[in-house]
Amino acid sequence: MSESEFTDLLKPHYNDAVNYCRALCSGASKSEAEDVMQQALLKAYENFDSLRDKTSFKSWFFQIITRSFYNSVRKPFWSRFVSLDSEDGKAAFKVFEDDFFEDNQILIAALSKISKQERAAILLFEIGGFSIEEITTIQSEKSESTIKSRLSRTRKKLKEFMVMLEEEDVRTQHVASRQRFLKSQRSTKDLYHETTKVIKEIKSIG
């Protein structure tokens, strides 16, 4: 095996692989998402000679990323999963630096609320572009119907979560807007009070 051969096969799929890994790790910190990707790259490189059919590199590599993610979930560091409502949770989403993720924060938040198998399945289909048959192999399932129902169930869950999160976002914006209005009203009242006070003082002097 040559390093250039591995790199050449990796290059056309690298961006999709990174996006897949980042979305898989929705809700985790940036360092944990990077750990999963690094582990997958290292494992793929070390086992590259075992890949006899080089045309299957993409599905083989995505399968390694998926397994690395599953393994990371079982490790102690994953217990440091952060809440989406916390400041740390909001900061964790800085890992999504691509336009796709910047424009789809509601989707990313929703992804963190579904199971790891559901998340992997929908991302393999939508981001990886894999077929039902290929996802069945990657997720080590016995039948394609399992994947089909998983995708259908996941789409429904994501839609429900996204609607809920959008409603929460609207409420949050409304509360923030109301608070800004009340603050401006207090400022106006304070200004009126101070102005009236100054006018009275001037009149008393005259």
How confident is the model at residue 184, as a pLDDT?
Answer: 55
Q: Say how far apart CA 37 and CA 86 lie, in whole Å.
A: 25
How many residues does the structure list for the chain?
206
Q: Are 121 and 147 in contact (CB under 8 A)?
A: yes
Residue spans of the chain under pLDDT 50: 76-102
How confident is the model at residue 2, as a pLDDT?
Answer: 66
- Residue in 109, 35, 104 with CA at minimum distance from that of residue 69: 35
| Cα separations in angstroms, 163 against 30, 111, 158, 170, 187 | 26, 13, 8, 11, 36
How confident is the model at residue 90, as a pLDDT?
Answer: 40
136 burial class (0-12, 13-18, 19+ CB within 10 angstroms)? buried
